[in-house]
Structure 1
Amino acid sequence: MSTLTTTPVTRRLSLLKPTGHLTLGNLLGALRPMAAQQHEADCFYGIADLHSLTVAHDPARLRELVTEQATLLLAVGLDASTLFVQSRVPTHSQLGYLLECVATTGELNRMIQFKEKGHGVGSTRVSLYTYPALMAADILLYRPTQVPVGDDQRQHVELTRDLAMRFNTTYGQVFTIPEITVPPAGARVMDLADPTSKMGKTGGRADRAGVIHLRDSPDVVRRKVARAVTDSDTGALSVRADRSLKPGVTNLLEILAACGGSTDGITTYGALKKAVTDAVVATLSPIQASYAELAADPAHVTEVYAVGAERCRSVTAPVLAAAQAALGL
């Protein structure tokens, strides 16, 4: 049996799948909190391109989205973190297979996301079924003591803990057992056309009316906000937050607040939408300017991610080696 001695370190890890163009929801709900954590911990932020292969995809589009997302992560200010592309750190897929050898079909059968994506589909990719083992590898490689996780991924992190404990009990103390924590609350941004659904980057056309992308021009932002769902209320108190009765108006008010705008003097939906437009454009403008500069210097972006991948390899190699030795390899 093999053991791995670890030095306690506060590490945070987040991976984003390049399944679509990053949105205002991604910025306010995830990227801003990630940037705020950079100086409090050793942060590893990755682009989970391997996870994008679990469903049908266009290789050329995947490469395009990875390049765009890599540039945007820098543009939003994640420059004090270790940035990497998952597929360029081979330890992720290597440990992923080893954990497949620890997981059971019963456990994977219970994974909700696999059930949802496979529901009504005649056949799915094997990688969609084994995806939780790769996600467990993503986490355990970095030996985090805490893993912030939302409700949609909680089951996968619980499986990660189970696999780590089973491995340690059976083969030796290799993995740190991470505690599940509630992530800092970011802004909850909903789809402008369907304020009961999150503003997501996946699925549909790239110009979906209810989704504001980080690279949308001011005119596009204005058009999308102008078409945002509100309601038929025209009374003196029409502009007020009430998620159950006025989800569209509430969403606009929350976007306005998250973008640093003010509701002072706003009494009509037209005025609210103008204020939201101005606040969103002001928020996106510096990001877009930074993106343009970075896109004009792709060699710099490539170097940042190459350095990040090298650091990831050096940090994760001892964990993989210990797991391999423990298994008898």
Structure 2
Amino acid sequence: LQSAVPEHTELCWILGCVTSFGDLTRMTQFKEKAKGQEFVNGGLFYYPVLQAADILLYLADHVPVGEDQLQHLELARRIARRFNWRFGELFPEPEPILGKVPRLMSLADPTRKMSKSYGPEHYIGLMEPEEEIWRKIRTAVTDMGLTPGQAMSPGVANLFTLLELVAPKEVVEEFRRAHTAGTLLYRDLKETLFRYLMETLRPIRERRRELEARGEVEEILAAGAERARKIAKEVIREVRARVGLD
């Protein structure tokens, strides 16, 4: 857990001193979340610096990210560059690792990314009850119906994107042919997606339940925090020396 490694917040403050106000005001996610709000807290504004600290504290040179986080990673690279220029080479400029699907979209609103920030209807929890996952897939946005050769709507395209992640290629292609022919039944598509998704999630869900039953979750978190702090302490010690705090 980040909260178990206090070096994150210390580095965040130090990196904030080499981050410009202009950098933070240009962050797209900040502008989107602040839009129309009467009160916008400073934590939201400063959060990209904490994200940069999360990355740079471990001298990461590659980071797996979603497409929507590329701007945040670019800011981390810019902060690393400024720190290195001012205090000497220390931080790598991390490169992104994008997955097969760089951005998953909400089942309830396929124009938005899948995110807990938008509420429970806009994401699928890995440990949610099966009936709740099925409800979200069953009620996923599609369109008013098909005609042969009809272009795929954003909602249907999103279901296909998810299906491609969990189902065999031949299953996906069969549904694509049905869509092109105008014979695809959306309930069949959703039922198949649900079945393959649950098969994919099953080992993850079973492993978590096993660890919880044995009472090992807290031990695993503590061991991870200990390993992380060994790295974090060394890096923050060097950072302090570079900036004159030691």
Taking structure 1 as the reference length, the TM-score comes to: 0.63
Cα distance in 2 for residues equivalent to 1:224 and 1:132 = 31
Q: Please state if 1:282 is matched with 2:199.
A: yes
2:109 to 178, 194, 210: 194
Cα distance in 2 for residues equivalent to 1:292 and 1:166 = 45
Alignment partner, residue 184 of structure 1? 99
Alignment partner, residue 229 of structure 1? 141
Following TM superposition, by how much is the alpha carbon of 1:227 offset from its aligned partner in structure 2, in angstroms?
2.3
Alignment partner, residue 154 of structure 1? 70
Cα distance in 2 for residues equivalent to 1:89 and 1:149 = 22
Change in Cα spacing, 1:274 to 1:128, as seen in structure 2 (3 Å) is closer
**Native 8 Å contact 1:214 1:288 kept in 2:** yes
Q: Please list, as runs of the form range in 1=range in 2, the aligned pairs for 1:126-275 lying within 5 A after superposition.
A: 126-173=42-89, 175-186=90-101, 188-204=103-119, 206=120, 208=121, 211-235=123-147, 242=151, 245-261=152-168, 262-263=171-172, 264=174, 267-275=184-192
The two structures, once aligned, show a CA RMSD in angstroms of: 2.6
Of 272-281 and 181-190, deviating more is 181-190
The superposition leaves residues 46-73 of structure 1 with CA deviations (integer Å, 9 ceiling, x where unpaired) of xxxxxxxxxxxxxxxxxxxxxxxxxxxx
Q: Please list, as runs of the form range in 1=range in 2, the aligned pairs for 1:91-106 lying within 5 A after superposition.
A: 91-106=7-22
Q: Which amino acid aligns with 2:200?
A: T
The superposition leaves residues 55-103 of structure 1 with CA deviations (integer Å, 9 ceiling, x where unpaired) of xxxxxxxxxxxxxxxxxxxxxxxxxxxxxx0111111111111112222
Identity among equivalent positions (%) equals 40
**Native 8 Å contact 1:88 1:309 kept in 2:** yes
Q: Which amino acid aligns with 1:176?
A: F
Cα distance in 2 for residues equivalent to 1:233 and 1:275 = 19
Q: Please state if 1:313 is matched with 2:229.
A: yes
Cα distance in 2 for residues equivalent to 1:131 and 1:187 = 22
Of 270-279 and 312-321, deviating more is 270-279
**Native 8 Å contact 2:52 2:72 kept in 1:** yes
**Native 8 Å contact 2:87 2:243 kept in 1:** yes
Cα distance in 2 for residues equivalent to 1:89 and 1:217 = 32
Change in Cα spacing, 1:216 to 1:161, as seen in structure 2 (3 Å) is closer
Cα distance in 2 for residues equivalent to 1:188 and 1:181 = 14
Following TM superposition, by how much is the alpha carbon of 1:323 offset from its aligned partner in structure 2, in angstroms?
1.1
Cα distance in 1 for residues equivalent to 2:188 and 2:113 = 24
Query: Secondary structure at 2:118's aligned position in 1?
Result: coil
- In structure 1, runs of 5+ residues without a counterpart are 1-84
Change in Cα spacing, 1:279 to 1:180, as seen in structure 2 (3 Å) is same
- In structure 2, runs of 5+ residues without a counterpart are 179-183
Cα distance in 1 for residues equivalent to 2:226 and 2:164 = 39
Change in Cα spacing, 1:191 to 1:177, as seen in structure 2 (3 Å) is same
Of 136-145 and 126-135, deviating more is 126-135
Q: Which amino acid aligns with 1:282?
A: E
Q: Please list, as runs of the form range in 1=range in 2, the aligned pairs for 1:10-29 lying within 5 A after superposition.
A: none
Cα distance in 1 for residues equivalent to 2:26 and 2:134 = 44
Cα distance in 2 for residues equivalent to 1:293 and 1:231 = 40
The superposition leaves residues 275-304 of structure 1 with CA deviations (integer Å, 9 ceiling, x where unpaired) of 222222322333322222222233x11111
Q: Please state if 1:304 is matched with 2:216.
A: no
**Native 8 Å contact 2:64 2:97 kept in 1:** yes
Number of corresponding residues = 235
Query: Secondary structure at 1:181's aligned position in 2?
Result: strand
Cα distance in 1 for residues equivalent to 2:30 and 2:158 = 30
Following TM superposition, by how much is the alpha carbon of 1:149 offset from its aligned partner in structure 2, in angstroms?
4.0
Change in Cα spacing, 1:186 to 1:314, as seen in structure 2 (3 Å) is same
Q: Which has the higher contact order (CA 8 A, sep 6+)?
A: 1
